[in-house]
Structure 1
Amino acid sequence: MINPTIFFDIAMDSEPLGQSSETTENFHTLSAGEKGFGFKVSCFHGIFPGFICHSGEFTCYNGTGGKAIYGEKFDDENFILKHMSPGILQFKFFICAVKVEWLDGKHVVCGKVKDSMNITEAMVCFGSRNGKTSKKITFAECG
């Protein structure tokens, strides 16, 4: 499967913010919950305005755990794609709120927000310098 499109319905305190779309097999499978685990109802445990919205950790829900469809960990595939614009997606994962080229070669890019970047921009408003969110931001639905 090359460049599959998946969706996330993002909610703030259970109120829908909108729907966005992204890519990659692991990401797709975790989004769809095809293995019995994944992103649905997990949260964004860190939102850093002017930087990233951090999520994708659905085992401890605080950024310390993690799991992939391939097991606990899997090797970085490559560093071909770059952190060249807002909307870049990376695993454990985070959505870049701005261009973050200094992350190139350190984190594998796995996709890019296809539409609805305004949802990421709205989420950033509820973050802080230390990443703590003022509202609970979750994946209300995904697939």
Structure 2
Amino acid sequence: MNESDFFRVGRIVLELFKDVAPKTVENFRCLCTGEKGVRPSGKRLHYKHTIFHKAVSQFIIQGGDVSNFDGSGGESIYGEKFDDETFIIKHDKPGVLSMANGGPNTNSSQFFITTVPCPHLDNINVAFGEVRAGFQVVTEMS
């Protein structure tokens, strides 16, 4: 794929809950800004040029693969993976921002936004924010 295969659909504004999940929020924030620089592999720790690689109607949109850009990779600012921080925030409404993972304590850079309530994700995925503006962009992608 090349850049001409993709298109912009709009802006999503997120609120991050630093008081509840400070480590998770810091990972996401730094990946947004790119301020942690380059990984040992030489690739940048940055969401720039990543895509939403997964969109499931009536469920989620998912993105943030900073390694392979296709959903098969990811890396955190703390190393390859980091532990689950908290399960206080529930997936009880559309627009919840949460970490994607491959099981307990496997958070990296991939994240998702719910398009409907997803209580079955509670105590499995670390939610750490929510959509404050641009939810129509989320629904358009799903």
Could you say which TM-score interval applies, normalised by the shorter chain? 0.7 to 0.9
Partners in 1 of 2:131 and 2:65 — Cα distance? 19
| Bigger share in strand | 1
Q: Which amino acid aligns with 1:84?
A: D
- Distance of aligned partners of 1:15 and 1:109 in 2 relative to their CA distance in 1, 3 Å threshold: closer
Structure 1 vs Structure 2 CA RMSD = 1.5
| Gap regions ≥5 residues in structure 1 | 1-11, 125-143
**How many pairs align?**
113
**Hey, which bits of structure 1, 4+ residues long, moved more than 6 A?**
none
1:116 and 2:140 aligned? no
Deviations 1:108-141 (A, max 9, x none): 10111111111101111xxxxxxxxxxxxxxxxx
| Aligned-partner residue type, residue 104 of structure 1 | D
Aligned to 1:52: 60
1:27-106 correspondence to structure 2 within 5 Å? 27-36=28-37, 37-91=45-99, 92-106=110-124
Provide the rounded CA distance (Å) in 1 between the counterparts of 2:76 and 2:12.
Answer: 23
| SS, match of residue 17 in structure 1 | coil
Show CA shifts across 1:30-54 (max 9, x none): 0111112211110111100110001
Question: Which gives a bigger RCO, structure 1 or 2 (Cα 8 Å, sep 6+)?
Answer: 1
Q: Would you say 1:13 and 2:24 are equivalent positions? A: no
Q: Give the fraction of aligned pairs with identical amino acids, expressed as a percent.
A: 39
1:20-70 alpha-carbon deviations (Å, 9 max, x no partner): 223221111101111122111101111001100011111011212111111
The one-letter code matched in structure 1 to 2:138 is T
Equivalent in the alignment of 1:22: 15
Amino acid at match of 1:27: F
TM-score normalized with structure 1 length: 0.73
Amino acid across the alignment from 1:20: V
Tell me if structure 1 keeps the 8 A contact 2:36–2:77. Answer: yes
- Distance change in 2, residues 1:15/1:107 (3 Å): closer
Secondary structure of residue in 2 paired with 1:89: strand
The structure carrying a bigger helix percent of its residues is: 2
Question: Take 1:74 and 1:15, find their aligned partners in 2: how far apart are those partners?
Answer: 30
Instruction: Normalising by structure 2, report the TM-score.
Output: 0.74
